[in-house]
Amino acid sequence: MNLANIQDFGAVNDDFTNNSVSIQKTIDYCAALGGGKVVIPAGKPYLSGPFNLKSNIELHLEHGAVLKAYPDESVYTKSAFRQNMGEGTIWIGGENLNQISITGGGTLDGNGIFFMGDELHDSYELKPFETIDPRPHMLTLVSCKNIKMYGVTVSNAAYWALHFIGCYDVAIENISLYNDLKVRNSDGIDLDHCQNIRISNCHIESGDDCICLKNRREYEELGPCRNIVISNCTLISTSCAIKIGSENMDSISHVTFNNCIITGSCRGIGIQNRDEGTVSDIIFSNIMVECKQFSDVWWGMAEPIYITAYPRASHDHKDAGWRLKPGAQEAGIGKVSNITFANIRCKSENGIFLGAATPDLLDNIRFNDIDLEVSKITEYPGGYYDCRPCKDADFIGEQTAGFYMVNASNVYISNTTVNWGDQRPEYYGNALYAENITPLVLDNFNGVAAFEHLDSIVKKGKTQLEKIAS
């Protein structure tokens, strides 16, 4: 294998040099030879502005090596979302590549705090901008095949950390990803129009979604997001640890999440459909979820599991013009179907929430072997559910229930228990609240209300309760 050290092409780690030219020369040298390993050596951090990977390149960070985003907003000019300039730029990029690897025991450091405004008690302020938001996404790969990433540490993203768009055959293993939990929009891994993906044995902490599947409109020609396996990961998020949506103009399907632990998060598992795309055939199994509330800067009300299909709000947003179909005034909304949760242990301040604009939008939702404990641990007010971004109402609900369900078809709950902790505010309510659920099938559902004067199960509207065996 061809081997090239960035120092041999002029890179210096002197705390002020932008080494992007030297790093690009090293990559280009290896690429011209048919490929090779580009080495970031150990020692003091190497600062760098944007550069592009090429086919058959392994970017290797030695143990103790640090590659850090250059602290000058003016060098970040390429939009991460094509003509949509308002959602960040690209630091490390690549398009239409094959055989890309990022390896080693070193660190990619996004230098995120440099790009933030003032620190607040719950977050950092976002700096104003006119046309382009200079905050860099750390890695943005578009239409690439055969990507491997393992062993490295990724930290301090100013926007999304790892963004794969229209990529095929991606393996991410044994990485540690540490974003500042107060940096808004600092997603961990975003899979956008991607197929045949494996993510395993990773630890991710992020101030937004840890792992997110979506289909952004800016890249609509790149097809659906499907055939994805995610396993053996630990996740911490100030927003949603595992999220599907909200941007979804195509289809997301054939996905499994298995053997994961979610802790210290605002929301655990979220399916948030807000566009015309569909979500189907998803399995979540063997997962432990612990959630708590954060301020309303962060989306979520400590829902351990959250499944929604509502039309998107289409106003008062910096990028609203990019969320709807071209020329459309109203958002479409696709169906969420064939979703299974099996062997899930949840502990949170809020309950499980299912909600849709109409019952046909949520279909065949199955819960088997769910153990839920609800107990208040923060001072933030509750009693409702966060549906942002939603056309009609951002927050809905009348109480905190173990399961709060509005508008769905074919919901099955079996071998499930709802318990309440010692801290029970007055808005804690029923074990199960169901409105317009046809049918709702309960098999060995064990749960009592938070207070003795309340019914364990409340059904409203057209709810058809078919079976109770408990």
Angle at 135 between CA 196 and CA 245, to 5 degrees: 40
pLDDT (0 to 100) of residue 99 = 98
Asked if the structure places residue 441 within a domain, the reply is no
Residues in the chain: 470
Whether residue 187 has pLDDT greater than 90: yes
Instruction: Give residue for tokens 């997110």.
Output: 212
Asked if the structure places residue 453 within a domain, the reply is no
pLDDT (0 to 100) of residue 332 = 87
Q: Across residues 299-325, what is the average pLDDT? A: 81
Measured between alpha carbons, how far is 283 from 231 in angstroms, rounded to an integer?
12
Asked if the structure places residue 341 within a domain, the reply is yes
pLDDT (0 to 100) of residue 467 = 78
pLDDT (0 to 100) of residue 271 = 98
For residue 202, what are its two tokens? 């990773």
Measured between alpha carbons, how far is 425 from 37 in angstroms, rounded to an integer?
58
Taking a C-beta distance cutoff of 8 angstroms, is the pair 4, 28 a contact? no
Average per-residue pLDDT in the chain?
Answer: 95
Measured between alpha carbons, how far is 103 from 86 in angstroms, rounded to an integer?
31
Measured between alpha carbons, how far is 354 from 408 in angstroms, rounded to an integer?
8
Q: Which residues pair with 448 in a beta bridge?
A: none
CATH number of 105's domain: 2.160.20.10
Closest CA to 361 of 397, 408, 313: 408
Handedness of CA 212, 127, 142, 335 (dihedral sign): positive
- Which tens digit of pLDDT belongs to each residue from 75-86? 999 999 999 999
Asked if the structure places residue 442 within a domain, the reply is no
Q: Across residues 136-142, what is the average pLDDT? A: 98
Asked if the structure places residue 72 within a domain, the reply is yes
Measured between alpha carbons, how far is 75 from 80 in angstroms, rounded to an integer?
14
pLDDT (0 to 100) of residue 234 = 98
Whether residue 378 has pLDDT greater than 70: yes
pLDDT (0 to 100) of residue 469 = 56
At 318, the pLDDT band (50, 70, 90 cuts) reads low
pLDDT (0 to 100) of residue 317 = 52
Whether residue 320 has pLDDT greater than 90: no
Query: Residue 329's domain spans which residues?
Result: 3-393+404-423
The burial of 448, by beta-carbon neighbours within 10 Å (0-12 exposed, 13-18 middle, 19 or more buried), is given as middle
Q: What is the DSSP secondary-structure string of 273-291? A: E-SS-EEEEEEEEEEEEEE
- Which tens digit of pLDDT belongs to each residue from 281-305? 999 999 999 999 999 999 999 999 9
pLDDT (0 to 100) of residue 393 = 84
Q: Across residues 316-322, what is the average pLDDT? A: 56
Q: Across residues 346-364, what is the average pLDDT? A: 98
Asked if the structure places residue 153 within a domain, the reply is yes
Which DSSP category does 119 fall into?
Answer: B
Q: State what percent of residues in the chain have pLDDT above 90.
A: 91
pLDDT (0 to 100) of residue 325 = 80
Q: What is the CA radius of gyration of the chain?
A: 23
pLDDT (0 to 100) of residue 330 = 80
Asked if the structure places residue 438 within a domain, the reply is no
Asked if the structure places residue 23 within a domain, the reply is yes
At 314, the pLDDT band (50, 70, 90 cuts) reads confident
Q: Looking at the 3D structure of the chain, how many domains does it have?
A: 1
